[in-house]
A and B are shown apart, each in its own frame.
Chain A
């Protein structure tokens, strides 16, 4: 309660217009976690060796969701392992008695060399199955991803929005001595390098289907925007011309890419088809326009312009062409990132020589802080379920990647001892 009062006070101090409500884009449990009891899965022939690892990955992914807390199996009155996945009733009282809201049971089987996870999830209070039993399968080497997909499905059944444990984050690190692109799972595990050109690589951005990354690179001698596809070793330039390009961002639906490009002695926004054709100019002022981010319906772009003397955030309606200033407080507002629901734009606001992260409602201009810290927090990116923001923070000295829930809970560091990590880009769902 005290924490809520503090956030409201800060929000009001920051200048909430006439409204003094405080709202965040959190749905589902209303801030309370669901307690989920997870049984070790039963195992068919050849699958017993996977049970413990699967349990570990599954429970970690459920905890990662910010929707569930996993009940300690020590507390179980019932067995810790699923004995009969096809039983038609379960003793709900014994699960309810230990505080569980949900029960997850399942069975692992090896079917033609693929690991199959069958599962059922119960709403314990109503003693009903949530959704029908189903299964996912994959090759055994991808067991962690399989477990995350199960967890994300469970999160969707209970909260209405799919979890993001099975998504990835692309980012930039100077670990190797220069800035290259890296990739990791959403929880920070399995970091691997993706580019290796020895140059300066920046600003990864995902295609809507998660199969490609746009990024900015100095690899050709001047900054340009490149596309890297899964399964292909070579990157390709999006648009080959004589002009420097500083960033590319894919539109949500129509295959277009918004580009920050320098042309005619000015930096402006353009859009182009992903095959490099159909270049269109979007902004025309004699000032710097940069940092485009698309609204989820693809009809608007928020961007940074310094036409009033310092960087501020604007919104352009692509149909009408109208441009409207959005940020009025502070002398330097940048790095806008539109939320998946469309209801917020996250951005970095400069305070002194550091940045803090804020959310602004693109309709009303209502602004509320989300990460405020004496050191610098920058580069916000949204998880595809809109529940979390990943960002780069220098609070421990180096730049490292963190995640935070939209309601301010569950701040966690996801990189460490990995050079300076910046420009995180959260992938869409990947299947």
Chain B
């Protein structure tokens, strides 16, 4: 019984945060961050409160491991450019996304490439470049979870949000 108490005490002390001190650079622990931010959990729509609903914009979709604009994507981009022409004060953020397959880091870069492909097309259509921000979420922001081509296809996308 006493030995168990000792063992439990050891575990409790070892598991508690930041024992700190001690010899050597590795013996102090990393202090766990207190949860201070309310969090960016809903980072898909960080600004909120915009007059033009992001729903007026249309997302565009991509083939696997590709950032080329398919014909349907170009149609949607023309629509998005029209929305931006109608509301000349609106800024848009293009968010590039990937499906869950592949290297997480490479997908961050690929998502950015997808966002920039859309931005270039909008600029070619006459939208002022300074109205468009681009960001990538890689595979970290799926709209559909699941391991099927149907799910993956919905996640390989650019979303357009009002800033």
**Residues of A in contact with B (beta carbons under 8 Å apart):** 49-50, 52-53, 138-145, 168, 177-179, 183, 190, 192-200, 202-203, 209-211, 213, 218-219, 221-223, 228-233, 235, 244, 246-247, 260, 262, 265, 267, 288, 290-291, 304, 306, 310-311, 332, 334-335, 348, 350, 353, 378, 422-423, 427, 429-431
**Given A144-B10, A246-B105, A431-B24, residue A199 in contact with residue B39 (CB < 8 A):** yes
A52 contacts across to B, CB distance below 8 A: 3
B6 close to A348 (CB less than 8 A): no
Judge if B55 is at the interface, Cβ distance under 8 Å.
no
Minimum-distance CB pairs A-B, first 8: A198-B39, A430-B26, A334-B103, A196-B33, A267-B109, A431-B24, A246-B108, A211-B25
A190 close to B26 (CB less than 8 A): no
Q: Would you list 5 pairs from A and B whose C-beta atoms are within 8 A, ordered by A residue?
A: A143-B10, A179-B140, A197-B39, A203-B104, A262-B112
Which residues from B are CB-within-8-Å of A193? 32
Q: Is the CB of B19 within 8 A of A141?
A: yes
Are A200 and B22 touching (Cβ within 8 A)?
A: no
- Show the binding face of B for A, using Cβ within 8 Å: 2-3, 6-7, 10, 13-15, 17-20, 22-41, 43, 46, 65, 101-106, 108-110, 112-113, 116, 135-138, 140, 147
| A196 to B39 Cα, complex, angstroms | 9
A53 touches B6 (CB 8 A): yes
Contacts A190-B15, A228-B30, A233-B33; A219 near B40 (Cβ below 8 A): yes
Whether B3 and A49, one on each chain, are in contact in the complex, defined by CB atoms closer than 8 angstroms, is: yes
A219 to B36, CA, bound (A): 11
Nearest A residue (CB) for B33: A196
Q: Which residue of B lies closest to A222 (CB)?
A: B135
Known: A233-B33, A311-B103. A218 touches B40 (CB 8 A): yes
Q: A80–B29 Cα gap in the complex (Å)?
A: 35
A336 (CB) vs chain B CBs: closest residue:
B103
Interface residue from A50, A144, A183, A197 paired with B30 (Cβ < 8 Å): A183
Bound CA span A381–B27, Å: 22
Q: In the complex, A6→B43 CA distance in Å?
A: 48
Alpha-carbon distance A267/B67, docked complex (angstroms): 14
Cβ B104 vs Cβ A311 within 8 A: no
When the two chains form the complex, which single residue of B2, B25, B31 contacts A210, counting CB atoms closer than 8 Å?
B25
In the bound complex, residues from chain A placing their C-beta under 8 Å from that of B135 are: 222, 244
A290–B106 touching, CB < 8 Å: yes
Closest B residue to A375 using CB positions:
B147
| Complex: chain A residue closest to B2, CB-CB | A49
- A230 in contact with B30 (CB, 8 Å): yes
A198 touches B136 (CB 8 A): no
In the complex, A423 Cα to B104 Cα: how many Å?
Answer: 9
Task: Judge whether A246 and B15 touch: CB under 8 Å.
Answer: no
Nearest Cβ distance between residue A255 and chain B, in whole angstroms?
15
A211 to B26 CA separation, bound complex (whole angstroms): 6
Contact partners of B101 in chain A: CB under 8 A: 350, 353
Q: Flag if A190 contacts B14 (CB, 8 Å).
A: yes
- Which residues of B sit under 8 angstroms from A195, Cβ to Cβ? 32-33
Query: Across the interface, which residues of A come within 8 angstroms of B19, CB to CB?
Result: 141-142
Number of A-B contacts (CB under 8 A): 179
* Complexed CA–CA distance, A422 and B40 (Å): 20
- Distance, CA A332 to CA B103, complexed state (A): 9
Residues of B within 8 A of A143 (CB): 10
**Which residues in B have their C-beta under 8 angstroms from that of A427?**
26
Known contacts A49-B3, A211-B26, A218-B140; can you find 7 more A-B pairs with CB under 8 A?
A: A142-B27, A144-B10, A144-B14, A196-B33, A223-B136, A246-B138, A430-B24
- Complex CA gap A260/B10 in Å reads 42
Nearest A residue to B35 via CB reads: A196
Are the CB atoms of A218 and B43 closer together than 8 Å?
yes
Instruction: Given A223-B108, A231-B20, check contact A335 B32 (CB 8 Å).
Output: no
- Please determine whether B110 and A230 come into contact, CB atoms closer than 8 angstroms: no
Report the bound CA distance from A228 to B32 in whole Å.
Answer: 10
Q: How far is the CA of A49 from the CA of B4 in the complex (A)?
A: 10
Q: Are A290 and B140 in contact (CB under 8 A)?
A: no
Q: Known contacts A262-B112, A334-B102, A431-B26: does B32 contact A194 (CB below 8 Å)?
A: yes
Complex Cα–Cα for A183 and B15 (A): 11
* A244 close to B104 (CB less than 8 A): no
Q: How far is the CB of B120 from chain A (nearest CB, A)?
A: 8
Q: Tell me if B46 and A310 are in contact (CB < 8 A).
A: no
**Chain A nearest Cβ from B89, distance in angstroms:** 22
Q: Chain B residue with minimal CB distance to A213?
A: B30
| Distance between Cα atoms of A284 and B7 in the complex (Å) | 56
**Beta-carbon contact of B34 and A196 below 8 Å:** yes
Shortest beta-carbon distance from B52 to chain A in Å = 21
A247 engages B105 (CB within 8 Å): yes
Q: Collect the chain B residues with CB atoms within 8 Å of residue A378's CB.
A: 103
Instruction: Indicate whether A192 sits within 8 Å of B32 (C-beta atoms), given known contacts A199-B40, A202-B104.
Output: yes
Please name the residue on chain A nearest to B109 by beta carbon: A267
B22 touches A142 (CB 8 A): yes
Cβ contact within 8 Å between B31 and A203: no
**A427–B26 alpha-carbon span in the complex (Å):** 10
Kindly list chain A residues whose C-beta atoms are within 8 Å of the C-beta of B28. Answer: 230-231
Q: Please, which residue of chain A has its CB at the minimum distance from the CB of B26?
A: A430
Contact across chains for B37 and A197 when beta carbons are under 8 A apart: yes
Question: In the bound complex, do residue A198 and residue B35 qualify as a contact, i.e. CB atoms below 8 Å apart?
Answer: yes
